[in-house]
Amino acid sequence: MTGLQYSSIMVASEGGVRILTINRPAQTNKLSNQCLDELVHALAAAEAAADCRVVVLTAVGEYFCNGGELGDCRTQSPMEIRAFGDRFVRFHTAIVRLSKPVVAAVQGHAHGGGSNLVEACDLAVASSAATFAVPEMNFGLAPMMALTGLTRVMSRKGVMEWSLLGEAISAARAADIGLINWVCEPGEVLVKAMAVANRLSLASPTAVATCKRLYYEADALNYQRQLECGLSMLVTLLKSEDAAEAATAREQNRAPVWKAK
């Protein structure tokens, strides 16, 4: 796969492991349109590479991923918002459908869509200092697309508590609910993720791909439909009067005044 110059991510290979690193620390590793395009391209290249057996997804800086870089939705058209959401869906679908395991090395905080991204990966190692949150409700929004993945690992009341209250949870709590597999000291996250990836790289690629396909075959289409449903609701929400009021209130450093329903 050629033709795309990466500016938002870095790609490296160690043996049979392809390492994709989100490299937007100044933007708290929010997923821009460009970043999403690069990640999808890099995953397709990893799929096509015979010498790649496992993908490790990590990031640079304090955040693993702080969700999507949506911009000011007050000035964007519904089609512009949907174009971003389509990329978001395409990226998550690419992870789920990849025949090779994807291990998240969560060296920093995973908030909003970042928590959704951790869930989409097959396995996850996280720093003991990392936190996980879907804080959109604190900003007059709702985690429409993040809820899609969270419902696969949490009970309904757990999802409602986490999303409605918008509170962050620790890595230890994330492990308890099944969002991540292992918790490490901050400096050991990538080391642990690579150890897991190297072990997986020694297994039969056919058996690994079959295992992934078996688990996701029945769920993948439903997962994509849920993401697309969440996207439609997100577009409606972001173009609502309440969403505009939330953004204006933040700019004016005041409490928002919600419209009565």
pLDDT for 183 beyond 90: yes
CA distance 85 to 127: 28
Q: What is the dihedral of CA 4, 14, 106, 201, to 10 degrees?
A: 110
pLDDT-derived band at 175, boundaries 50, 70, 90: very high
Distances in Å between the alpha carbon of 165 and those of 86, 111, 126?
A: 27, 14, 23
Instruction: Convert the pLDDT of each residue in 184-193 to its tens digit.
Output: 999 999 999 9
> CB count, 10 Å around CB of 258?
12
Instruction: Convert the pLDDT of each residue in 27-55 to its tens digit.
Output: 999 999 999 999 999 999 999 999 999 99
CA distance 102 to 70: 25
- Residue 133 DSSP class: E
Instruction: Convert the pLDDT of each residue in 194-219 to its tens digit.
Output: 999 999 999 999 999 988 887 776 66
Query: Residue 85's beta-bridge partner residues?
Result: none
pTM score of the predicted model: 0.86
CA distance 229 to 62: 31
pLDDT for 124 beyond 80: yes
pLDDT value at residue 86? 87
Give all domains of the chain, ordered by start, each with its CATH number: 9-188+201-205 (3.90.226.10)
pLDDT value at residue 1? 44
Q: Which helix (H) or strand (E) holds 21?
A: strand 17-22
Q: Are strands 54-59 and 102-106 parallel, antiparallel or unpaired?
A: parallel
Hey, is 17 helix, strand or coil?
strand
pLDDT for 245 beyond 70: yes
CA distance 220 to 95: 10
